[in-house]
Amino acid sequence: MRVISGVYKGRAIKAVPGTSTRPTTDKVKESIFNMVGPYFEGGIGLDLFAGSGGLGIEALSRGFDRLVFVDRDFKAIQTVKANLKTLGLEKCAEVYRNDAERALYAASKRGLRFDAIFLDPPYQEQKLKALLIMIEKTNLLNDNGFILAEHAKEVVLPQETGELHISRQEIYGLTGVSIYRKRGNRDG
């Protein structure tokens, strides 16, 4: 695994040991960022099922100011921390071991709002619909922000939920990618 573009282009990052985490392939990661960026001028992001931290680290490399990484798996948290340390990104990251719903609630209580929210839950435990509803109800997404949901290609997500709507969907092999934006967003 490696950083695809930006300041840390070509730098290697470690995968989570074992088979409990499915990393986003470099090809899918590159396609995802071509859909939503590819480069950014600041902003704060949330990598909710961080795994190795690959999506959030890619966002930092491409110009995000700060990322919050969350995963419930201890090995994943250790891997995110190691990858951030290797790249010297500890000061622009927060890393938490927590369940997705609790993490969203905690972010809401802190008054955080994100320019990007990356949702890449384990394919067998998809909770994307419920998470989208929770994000929308707690107003965690900035007006010009986006939610990137990575899922199994056969998963059918709602076209809209509240103010959120799918602005783009793509299939890459077994992986589906859905981008949500707020209605009236400049890109949606």
Tell me the C-alpha distance between 167 and 178, whole Å: 8
Tell me the C-alpha distance between 23 and 76, whole Å: 11
Nearest by Cα to 148 from 125, 131, 162:
131
> What are the tens digits of pLDDT across the range 76-114?
999 999 999 999 999 999 999 999 999 999 999 999 999
Q: Which domain holds residue 64?
A: 27-182
152, part of any domain: yes
Q: What's the pLDDT score for residue 79? A: 96
Beta bridge pairs of residue 168: 179
Which residue is listed with tokens 């070509």?
10
Given a cut of 80, is residue 23 above it in pLDDT? Answer: no
Task: List, in order, residues 6 or more apart from 17 with CB less than 8 Å away.
Answer: 75, 79
3, part of any domain: no
96, part of any domain: yes
41, part of any domain: yes
Cβ distance 30 to 175 under 8 Å? no
Q: How many domains, in total, are found in the chain?
A: 1
Tell me the C-alpha distance between 107 and 32, whole Å: 24
DSSP letters of 159-177? SEETTEEEEEEEEETTEEE
18, part of any domain: no
> What are the tens digits of pLDDT across the range 110-160?
999 999 999 988 765 568 989 999 999 999 999 999 999 999 888 889 999
How far does CA 61 lie from the centroid of its chain? 14
> What are the tens digits of pLDDT across the range 24-42?
777 788 888 888 888 899 9
19, part of any domain: no
117, part of any domain: yes
CATH code where residue 147 lies:
3.40.50.150
